[in-house]
Amino acid sequence: MTIKVYEKDGSSVIVPEGKIDHVTVGEFEKTIREAGNNDRLLTLDMAGVEYVSSAALRAILVANDMKEGKGGLVITNVNNKVMEIFRITGFSDYLNIC
């Protein structure tokens, strides 16, 4: 997995690519903490993510809670496979997915 981070229109954008699983989730969580440690919107651009494990779902949930009242979290460009995981787990009802 690789992760890019950049700023756009006052938002911190995280762009992971590959699989987010028990092997890569530590780097993903660290990036979220560093990029999201402010009052700006945090955007997860998931276009390049092919798989999310339960560890990744937990990290996304923690990010959502961390950003509540502090700019918020938006998840964009989710492919059908990952969206199905969000639907099955109920995350699609809880997260702001565009």
pLDDT tens for each residue of 16-36: 999 999 999 999 999 999 999
pLDDT tens per residue across span 54-70: 999 999 999 999 999 99
What is the pLDDT at residue 49? 97
Q: What is the mean pLDDT of the chain?
A: 96
What distance in Å separates the CA atoms of residue 33 and residue 84, rounded to the nearest whole number? Answer: 26
First to last CA, the chain: 23
What is the pLDDT at residue 75? 98
What's the CATH number for 2-94? 3.30.750.24
Listed by start position, the domains of the chain span 2-94
Cα 18 to chain centroid, rounded: 13
**Cross-strand bridge partners of residue 30:** none
Torsion sign across C-alpha atoms 65, 4, 39, 34: positive
